[in-house]
């Protein structure tokens, strides 16, 4: 039985910094309050120098912060070890969640976690908000380490990046000359017993097509259909968990209920099909490329004579899909509401073409690593859709669909993009790719990795592992800048369901992380 507790965890310094961060507004690209907090903390720390900070910077690569504390005593003149975390967070369900309502709770095994939002979100994640432990714990840990008197003689360099959650732009574009350290520890991992030493690369695919708009018949009504409550999650971490995508769910429902695409039971007693046309479809949350959509809605139009039957059939289809997917009722919520009058809709051909395209766009795991079948190699996340009028026209509209791709294999990524382009051409949509981010190629000969393995064995025994992951990490951009001269790992606490209202932090793992980083820093200089 779960029990609601306070938000406290050890170390106290990490807790206190983290709770302060949860009060500050810091969506991706709007990190100024956190930037100011870091600088204020740095000014109060003995021996810490602000080596790079541009308070009025607008470009993500110029919004980073670099702090340094030189080695002293027997570590005087020793090379820096670089610690890194990002200053932004995913805001779900929207940006209006600050200050976060943070609380603790115990799970069925008596283990303490913290999360944010309504306390009922322990059982109903849709009532929660993101916690920002990704990467607020990384930030708080670095600040606490700089204050730790046990480490005051060690040479530490700190990099705080901007806009990690929107295509890692800060890490991609900061000036290479800002960093002096060549031992780089990223604090953005999400499992306390894992050392990461490689990650997937990725890119965005965008579909764009023209649609024809027609006046809605006078005897038609407009309805808003919505899907919510889905788990969503990180499109790298959770893509192999079989989680439903709200845009895909809506698409399947609209195809099943469309009598031009599925002419079933039009006169029968089960779920029927209807003469429906699309007006709009969109994601009902921040359209983050790297989050699996958990809620979406569509506005449609159909004959007013079918209003009651259609609503009943839509809910019946969604209920069948929920049962098939083995989800609780709170994890799959559907609704039908009457919408305000709208003048135009997509015509039948444009409606049907768009729905068929959305069905065919790949989603989920595309391929696993042949030699490691439990690890995802290539995946795809259908992230967003928007329908808007064409400027200067009342009879044409434009559809834009965005997809995020990930892969640790260059050829597999090329093949996925070719499939996406072929599908686009079949439905007369243009397909463009862009915003690529590099993969992080694992280095099995890493001296930093060897040191980290020794530290983790002392803390976790044989329960830890070193691995590569399918999610993207800023380390890939750092290694692209510095090449083989930079030695890099990523570690972190245990965070469940990042990027969702169910995001939770396992409190005991924060202390484990702090101990790991402290021991690792000390071990790197043991020979001096």
Same domain, 39 and 171: yes
Same domain, 463 and 405: no
Same domain, 95 and 193: yes
In angstroms, the CA 409 to CA 30 distance is 33
In angstroms, the CA 30 to CA 393 distance is 35
Question: What is the overall mean pLDDT for the chain?
Answer: 94
Given a cut of 80, whether residue 330 has pLDDT beyond it is no
Mean pLDDT of 303-322: 93
In angstroms, the CA 525 to CA 489 distance is 17
Indicate whether 299 belongs to any domain.
Answer: yes
Q: State the residue for tokens 């031992």.
A: 183
Note the pLDDT tens digit of each residue in 366-401.
Answer: 999 888 888 899 999 999 999 999 988 889 999 999
Indicate whether 7 belongs to any domain.
Answer: no
Q: The domain spanning residue 241 has which CATH number?
A: 3.30.70.360
Residues contacting 53, CB < 8 A, separation 6+: 35, 39, 65, 66
Mean pLDDT of 508-523: 97
Percent of the chain scored above 90 by pLDDT? 84
How many domains, in total, are found in the chain? 2
Same domain, 463 and 371: no
Indicate whether 2 belongs to any domain.
Answer: no
What is the biggest distance separating any 2 CA atoms in the chain, rounded to whole angstroms?
87
The pLDDT-based confidence of 417 (bands split at 50, 70, 90) is: very high
Indicate whether 5 belongs to any domain.
Answer: no
In angstroms, the CA 18 to CA 12 distance is 10
Q: The domain spanning residue 169 has which CATH number?
A: 3.40.630.10
Indicate whether 4 belongs to any domain.
Answer: no
Given a cut of 70, whether residue 527 has pLDDT beyond it is no
Given a cut of 70, whether residue 264 has pLDDT beyond it is no
Given a cut of 90, whether residue 271 has pLDDT beyond it is no
Same domain, 63 and 142: yes
Same domain, 421 and 464: no
Same domain, 429 and 456: no
Backbone angles phi, psi at 106, to 5 degrees: -105, 145
- The whole-number pLDDT of residue 170 equals 96
Query: What residue ranges in 14-97 does DSSP mark as E strands?
Result: 49-52, 65-69, 81-86
Same domain, 360 and 450: no
Q: State the residue for tokens 């009902």.
A: 284
Strand order in the sheet with 277-283: 277-283, 296-303, 220-228, 333-338
Same domain, 474 and 433: no
Q: Domain span at residue 113?
A: 12-200+439-525
Given a cut of 70, whether residue 290 has pLDDT beyond it is yes
The pLDDT-based confidence of 1 (bands split at 50, 70, 90) is: low
Same domain, 178 and 289: no
What is the token pair recorded at 482? Answer: 């510095």
Last residue of a domain, one of 384, 411, 437: 437
- The whole-number pLDDT of residue 200 equals 92
Given a cut of 90, whether residue 265 has pLDDT beyond it is no
In angstroms, the CA 167 to CA 174 distance is 14
Same domain, 158 and 251: no
Mean pLDDT of 352-359: 98
In angstroms, the CA 444 to CA 514 distance is 25
Indicate whether 450 belongs to any domain.
Answer: yes
Last residue of a domain, one of 437, 462, 485: 437
Percent of the chain scored above 70 by pLDDT? 98
- The whole-number pLDDT of residue 201 equals 93
Last residue of a domain, one of 437, 466, 484: 437
Same domain, 326 and 415: yes
Indicate whether 518 belongs to any domain.
Answer: yes
């Amino acid at each position: 039985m779960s029990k609601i507790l306070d938000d406290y965890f050890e170390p106290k310094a990490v807790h206190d910094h983290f709770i302060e961060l949860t009060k500050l507004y810091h969506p991706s690209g709007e990190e100024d309050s956190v930037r100011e907090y870091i600088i204020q903390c740095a000014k109060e720390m003995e021996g810490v120098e602000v080596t790079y900070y541009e308070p009025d910077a607008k470009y993500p690569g110029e919004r980073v912060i670099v702090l340094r504390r030189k080695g002293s005593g027997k570590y005087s003149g020793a090379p820096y070890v670089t610690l890194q975390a990002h200053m932004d967070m995913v805001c779900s369900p929207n940006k209006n969640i600050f200050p976060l309502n943070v609380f603790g709770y115990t799970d069925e095994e008596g283990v303490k976690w913290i999360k944010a939002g309504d306390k009922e979100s322990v059982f109903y994640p849709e009532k929660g908000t993101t916690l920002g432990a990704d990467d607020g714990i990384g930030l708080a840990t670095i600040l606490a380490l700089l204050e730790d008197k046990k480490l005051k003689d060690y040479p530490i360099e700190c990099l705080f990046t901007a806009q990690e959650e929107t295509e890692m732009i800060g890490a991609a574009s900061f000036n290479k000359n800002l960093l002096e350290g060549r031992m780089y520890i990223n604090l953005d991992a999400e499992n306390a017993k894992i050392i990461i030493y490689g990650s997937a690369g990725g890119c965005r695919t965008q579909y764009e097509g023209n649609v024809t708009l027609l006046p809605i018949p006078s005897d038609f009504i407009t309805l808003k259909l919505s899907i919510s409550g889905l788990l969503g999650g990180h499109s790298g971490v959770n893509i192999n968990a079989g989680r439903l995508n709200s845009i895909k769910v809506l698409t399947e429902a609209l195809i099943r209920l469309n009598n031009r695409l599925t002419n079933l039971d039009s006169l029968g007693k089960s779920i029927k099909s209807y003469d429906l046309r699309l007006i709009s479809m969109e994601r009902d949350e921040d359209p983050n490329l790297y989050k699996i959509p958990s809620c979406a809605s569509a506005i449609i139009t159909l004959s007013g004579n079918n209003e009651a039957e259609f609503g009943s059939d839509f809910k019946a289809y969604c209920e069948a899909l929920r049962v098939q997917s083995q989800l609780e009722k709170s994890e799959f919520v559907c609704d039908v509401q009457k919408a305000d009058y709208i003048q135009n809709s997509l015509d039948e051909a444009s409606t049907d073409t768009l729905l068929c395209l959305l069905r065919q766009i790949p989603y989920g795991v595309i391929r696993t690593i042949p030699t490691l079948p439990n690890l995802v190699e290539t995946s795809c996340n259908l992230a967003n859709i928007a329908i808007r009028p064409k400027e200067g026209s009342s009879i044409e509209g434009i559809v834009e669909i965005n997809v995020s791709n990930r892969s640790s294999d260059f050829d597999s990524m090329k093949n996925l993009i070719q499939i996406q382009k072929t599908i686009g051409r079949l439905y007369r949509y243009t397909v463009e790719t862009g915003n690529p981010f590099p993969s992080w190629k694992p280095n099995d000969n890493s001296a930093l990795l060897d040191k980290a393995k020794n530290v983790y064995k002392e803390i976790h025994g044989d329960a830890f592992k070193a691995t590569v992951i399918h999610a993207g990490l800023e380390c890939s951009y750092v290694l692209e800048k510095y090449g083989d001269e930079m030695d890099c790992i990523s570690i972190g606490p245990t965070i469940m369901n990042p990027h969702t209202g169910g995001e939770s932090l396992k409190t005991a793992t924060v202390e484990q992380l702090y101990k790991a980083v402290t021991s690792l820093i000390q071990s790197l200089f043991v020979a001096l």
